[in-house]
Amino acid sequence: MLPGGKAKRSGVTGVNGLLLFCLLIFGAFGGHADARAATSESAAALELAKKYVPVMMIREQEDPLCGIEGEQYQVMKVDALFGNPDVLLMRNNDKLDSTLIKRAPEISDLRNRGEEAYLDLRGDPLGDTCIYAKDFDEMKDEGRAPVAVYAHIAREKGRSGIALQYWFYWYFNQFNDLHESDWEGMQITFKANTARKALEEEPDQMLLFQHAGGERANWTDDKVEKDGDHPVVYPAAGSHATFYQSAIYPQNGSKGSGVGCDNTSEPLRELRPEAVLLPWQPTDKGEFAWLSFDGRWGQKEKSFNNGPTGPQTKDQWGKPFSWMEQQRWSSPRMPGGGIVGPEAVNAFCGVIAGVTGVMNLQQAEPWAAYGIIAGFILIVFFVFFYSKWRPADPDRLQQKRAYGQIVGASLKLYRRNLAAFAALGAIAIPIVGGTQALGGWLRGRSGSDDLLQGLSDIVLGVGSPVALTLVSALVIVYIRDLVCERDAGIKGSIHGTRTLFWRVVIAKMLSLTGVFLLAITVIGIPFAIRFLVTWSFVQQEVIFTDRSIREAFLASTDLVRGRWWHTVRTVVPLGAVLAVAGPMLGLFLIFTPLPLVLVNLIGSVVYALVIPFTTTGTTLLYFDLQARQREGSAVPRRSWVPWKPNSFGRRIEQPAS
């Protein structure tokens, strides 16, 4: 029994040993196979990342180092931040208090830091931002900021395919929002489930990150520009939101877009970054331990000036396909130009930049911002609303009036003659539309021809002044017929303007040209302002008194002399209404789903309809000044003829009128 039992136990032990031996052998070979497969997939991932790494076209920095029209920075590795004595690792305790964790932190110091931690670069994002440009320029010159992007193979649970993501790190965000560090990027999706298989097929879709959202495209879409397999992308200057083409992109904040105008327009320069492959998942070990840092990569500030968090905290890191499906297929681009008057979309860019500038100042210097806001409100009140408003009689036009009475009478006269004034204003549209089309045609064929480009600028520049001059003349003739108790009408206005056409148009264009030439000398700006006011009535003098061009300039000057500030009181608000009415309406319409071309069109129509109103107001001011001149004594003028030294600067008793 005993021998048999021993033999049996020995047999069982032998079988178990054999099984164990087989498992060890299988495990050894299987482990090596898995390791080889992982290594092969990592190599394929790196090859894939290098194959599709984007070519980046950024705005050329033509200004000095700290100019903000171009792009001051380049995509770079984050390594330059570590061990840097100008960088602090901080802990945010509450809204007002932070404590220092470490100066010149290493990568290991960021490991597993929570949301309360943040990196603080040298400088203040709400102060002198030139410090960041200088620091980056120094790092670039020393070779510590190589041009590079971070590649990451992203997968999503329950979804097939992979997303090849590229994360762009920028040292500073110089846009309407100012903050230290900026993370943007893009992704290319494949139907394949591995990098090795993705190398054998063409990408499916592409997505560019833009602020909190993005813009999608099929890989074969025309808007996806390629250099071989490398997509060509256009990061916007300062904001770094990435686009498919060179243009200006007005953004109204919808669907994750920014608020303001992202600019990727020429001049441009090319960047070809290195692709640095990130691990599949965030790690707290090795050179990419910073992926476990959930804090902010810039100074703690309020709202949109706060430093951004890292790539692994973004929704698209773990859900690349779900996030992509929520993004838009296009971005609104700046139209080629308005039809008449100031472009509403261009005005939007300036207004948003101004408003966000005050908001940034409010965070840095609250009382200064409040002072600017209060001053603006007071100026608007005194310029537009502080006046005597009643009575505003539109029946007896030739009389003295205060500014408010002129505006009120103009509105009533416009409403009474709405159809005629609207039709006369609409004449501006084909004039400027034609010059815009001709100017655009010349510009499209100019290429590098400076002569054609200059001619295009001239054509585009004269359209609005000519239209304003012609419509103003038509309206003044219409009002003349009302004053003379004639049968005022559109045909009569056209006929009356035609008989005086060259004098009316040349006189007004000469006044505008003279003001422009004085203004561009800079030192002549005070004189430009003076003559802009004193020459405001040359058209009225030609039409109402049949004066020559020279006599009209002298008579307009004499009319304003001694009443310059009173004239400014009316001319400036009327000019402001003409300049801002269309753009201000467009400013609100941009926040609607309307196409930007339609927004500019609506703004242009409003501008054309406002010309008769402002011309009516200027003409009523002309009547007002005549009445004041009749009531008071004539104001002597001075001689400014340099070739008559005995009379130069002396008061001449009798004015030209």
Q: Is residue 365 part of a domain?
A: no
Q: Is residue 362 part of a domain?
A: no
In the prediction, which pLDDT does 37 show? 59
CA distance 167 to 314: 11
> Tens of pLDDT along 415-453?
999 999 999 988 888 876 677 667 767 766 766 667 777
Q: Is the pLDDT of residue 76 over 90?
A: yes
Q: Is residue 383 part of a domain?
A: no
In the prediction, which pLDDT does 485 show? 84
Q: Is residue 216 part of a domain?
A: yes
DSSP notation for 498-514:
HHTHHHHHHHHHHHHHH
3-class secondary-structure state, position 304: helix
Dihedral of alpha carbons 332, 333, 338, 339, sign: negative
> Tens of pLDDT along 27-55?
544 555 555 656 778 899 999 999 999 99
Identify the bridge partners of residue 213 per DSSP, sorted by sequence position.
Answer: 210
Q: Is the pLDDT of residue 21 over 80?
A: no
CB 504 within 8 Å of CB 473: yes
Considering the chain, what percentage of its residues have pLDDT values greater than 70?
86
**Quick one: pLDDT band at residue 99, thresholds 50, 70, 90?**
very high
> Tens of pLDDT along 242-269?
999 998 888 877 776 777 889 998 889 9
**Quick one: pLDDT band at residue 656, thresholds 50, 70, 90?**
very low
Supply the mean pLDDT for the chain. Answer: 85
When divided into structural domains, the chain yields a total of 1
Containing structural domain, residue 77: 42-325
Query: How far is CA 13 from each of CA 7, 8, 10, 495, 566, rounded to the nearest angstrom?
Result: 10, 9, 5, 120, 115
In the prediction, which pLDDT does 266 show? 87
Q: Which of 475, 531, 538 is nearest to 505 (CA)?
A: 538
Top pLDDT among 126 and 590 is at 126
> Tens of pLDDT along 170-202?
999 999 889 999 999 999 999 999 999 999 999
Q: Is residue 238 part of a domain?
A: yes
Torsion region of 513: left, alpha or beta (phi above 0 gives left; psi -120 to 50 gives alpha): alpha
Q: Is residue 515 part of a domain?
A: no
In the prediction, which pLDDT does 251 show? 81
Q: Is residue 100 part of a domain?
A: yes
If you average pLDDT over residues 266-290, what whole number do you get? 94
CA distance 492 to 237: 53
Top pLDDT among 645 and 270 is at 270
Q: Is the pLDDT of residue 414 over 80?
A: yes
Does an H or E element contain 196, and which?
helix 195-198
Q: Is residue 190 part of a domain?
A: yes
Compute φ and ψ for 234, nearest 5 degrees: -125, 95
Q: Is the pLDDT of residue 311 over 80?
A: yes
